[in-house]
């Protein structure tokens, strides 16, 4: 039963390209909940560090960038604009070079702890859909519904390939698969908050499912629980 005084938190974790982003947006819209795209925060730290010429491997230098991150999420009816130091970086943070950088800085424990509170404040009434890697394990361990969404590396690369093609960007599919594997490896092998399902998460493998099928499955899980 939903408690009106406390926000209901739904966590959607999984590897890149599993469809988490799209599905989290669809769920938040359907339920009238807030949305946390935690990957955007890691991307912002990577981009802000790169702009400052900070070596991403140097945790001591990246952690202060994470702590001082000057970001605004401008939410409108159809889209969210992300403003970093007064500049619209909504598209810039999606570049492949920033994806790789985000995966690198996300392995630094002090960067992760610097972002913890920033993520938790998104949990306001009536509820939150939180999209990431460690939403169910670390950031919102008491969430009402935890979902781990996955798909094969090939299926995820294919989706990303089509997405980039629609944007008119030429990419090599073999490189995409290799990048996805490299990122998966780094995200799941890191010592702090590795990508893994929470013990109480429901795992959905979307390799052979349409977005609509996954959405219906998620809604039914949520309806059973809240």
**Among 122, 161, 183, 198, which residue sits at the site for ligand DC (rule: CB under 6 A)?**
183
Instruction: Indicate the length of the chain as a whole number.
Output: 226
Stretch that binds ligand DC, among 65-73, 78-86, 131-139, 171-179 (CB under 6 A): 131-139
- CA 20/CA 11 separation, integer angstroms: 10
- The stretch among 37-45, 50-58, 68-76, 152-160 that binds ligand DC (CB under 6 A) is 37-45
Calpha distance 23→161 (Å, rounded): 18
Local structure of 119: helix, strand or coil: helix
Burial of 39 per CB tally in 10 Å (0-12, 13-18, 19+): buried
x-marked contacts with ligand DC along 72-111 as a string, rule CB under 6 A: ---------------------------x--xx--x-----
Shortest distance (Å) from residue 126 CB to ligand DC: 22
Least distance from C-beta 96 to ligand DC, angstroms?
Answer: 11
CA dist 188 → 15, 70, 98 (Å): 9, 28, 19
Positive or negative, the CA dihedral 225, 207, 197, 4 is negative
Least Å from the CB of residue 219 to ligand DC: 22
Among 8, 48, 187, 198, binds ligand DC (CB under 6 A): 187
Binding site for ligand DC (CB under 6 A): 16, 38-39, 42-43, 99, 102-103, 106, 132-134, 183, 187
């Amino acid at each position: 039963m939903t408690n009106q005084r406390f926000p209901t938190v739904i966590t959607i974790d999984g590897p890149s390209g599993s469809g988490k982003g799209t599905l989290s947006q669809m769920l938040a819209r359907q339920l009238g909940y807030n949305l946390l795209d935690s990957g955007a925060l890691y991307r912002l730290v990577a981009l802000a560090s790169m702009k400052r010429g900070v070596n991403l491997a140097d945790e001591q230098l990246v952690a202060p960038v994470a702590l001082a991150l000057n970001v605004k999420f401008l939410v409108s009816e159809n889209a969210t604009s992300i403003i970093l130091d007064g500049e619209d970086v909504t598209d810039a943070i999606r570049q492949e070079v920033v994806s790789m950088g985000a995966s690198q800085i996300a392995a630094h424990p002090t960067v992760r702890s610097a972002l913890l509170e920033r993520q938790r404040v998104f949990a306001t009434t009536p509820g939150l859909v939180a999209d990431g890697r460690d939403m169910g394990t670390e950031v919102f361990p008491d969430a009402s519904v935890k979902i781990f969404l996955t798909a094969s590396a090939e299926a995820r690369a294919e989706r990303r390939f089509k997405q980039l093609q629609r944007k008119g960007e030429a990419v090599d599919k073999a490189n995409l698969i290799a990048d996805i594997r490299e990122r998966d490896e780094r995200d799941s092998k890191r010592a702090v908050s590795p990508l893994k399902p929470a013990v109480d998460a429901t795992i959905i493998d979307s390799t052979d499912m349409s977005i609509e099928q996954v959405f219906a499955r998620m809604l039914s899980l949520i309806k059973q629980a809240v």
